[in-house]
Amino acid sequence: MSYRALLENNRRWAGERTLADPSYFRRVAREHRPHTLFIGCSDARVPADVITQSGPGELFMHRNIANQALATDANLQSALQYAVEALGVQDIVVCGHEGCGGVRAAMQSEAPPLVDTWVAGVRTVMRLHDAELRAIGDDDLRLAHLVELNVMEQVRSMARMPVVREAWAGGASLRVHGCVYDLRSGLLRDLGATVDPNAALGARRAG
């Protein structure tokens, strides 16, 4: 699709919206109060608002290759702080997807140099689960499992972020979730990896 086609599609969409609801864009522009910070992969086949049927203003989104939540990523950290402290989101979702090219790149040695550096965190996840992954003989199944392990590690990473911990210390009911999107079915699969203030408090006491 060309750039010109994108602009034409935008005009058509805006016109249809305005025709159906003349005040639609005025309402959307009036307030920015998303309920969820959605951290997803940059893959063009995983549009968060489309697959969750969310309207404008409902999701605050951050995307990067292999949906990573890195403490060293200033872009993520600033988005997280703004989402939690300024927008008051109630949920953070880390969403991976089947067949992720970034996760696949971490499993191989042929990625472009900058991508290779970026997915180093996924390689750390591989190292932590080396025996578990080696026990899976099928390459596609191994990739699918690493996608899940990576999401769960990013959920844990997010729960350790100072912004999240400070929000919990202040009484916020913020929750961090992990899920995987199946490109072939269009369905999101919850990984049961949710961390909330109670779980985080229990983990700190146990530690």
| Given the residues 41, 95, 175, 179, the one annotated as active site | 41
- Residue-wise pLDDT for 52-87, tens only, equals 999 999 999 999 999 999 999 999 999 999 999 999
Catalytic residue among 62, 95, 100, 177: 100
pLDDT value of position 18: 96
Choice among 12, 27, 33, 45 that is catalytic: 45
Smallest CA-to-CA distance from 80 within 186, 163, 9, 180 is with 163
Q: What is the DSSP letter of 186?
A: -
- Can you read off the two tokens belonging to residue 97? 């997807």
Q: What percent of the chain has pLDDT over 70?
A: 96
41 included as an active-site residue? yes
Q: Is 138 a catalytic residue?
A: no
**Is residue 200 scored above 80 in pLDDT?**
no
> Given a cut of 80, is residue 136 above it in pLDDT?
yes
Q: How far apart are the first and last CA of the chain?
A: 53
Q: Give the residue-averaged pLDDT of 112-138.
A: 95
pLDDT tens-digit readout, 87-110? 999 999 999 999 999 999 999 877
Query: Is 134 part of the annotated catalytic residue set?
Result: no
pLDDT band at 207 (very low <50, low <70, confident <90, very high): very low
Q: What residues does CATH 3.40.1050.10 cover in the chain? A: 32-206
Catalytic, 45? Answer yes
Query: Would you say domain 32-206 falls under CATH 3.40.1050.10?
Result: yes
Q: Nearest Cα to 152, choosing from 189, 182, 105, 201?
A: 189
| d(C-alpha 145, C-alpha 142), whole Å | 5
43 is catalytic: yes
pLDDT band at 40 (very low <50, low <70, confident <90, very high): very high
Exactly one of 62, 97, 175, 177 is catalytic; which is it? Answer: 97
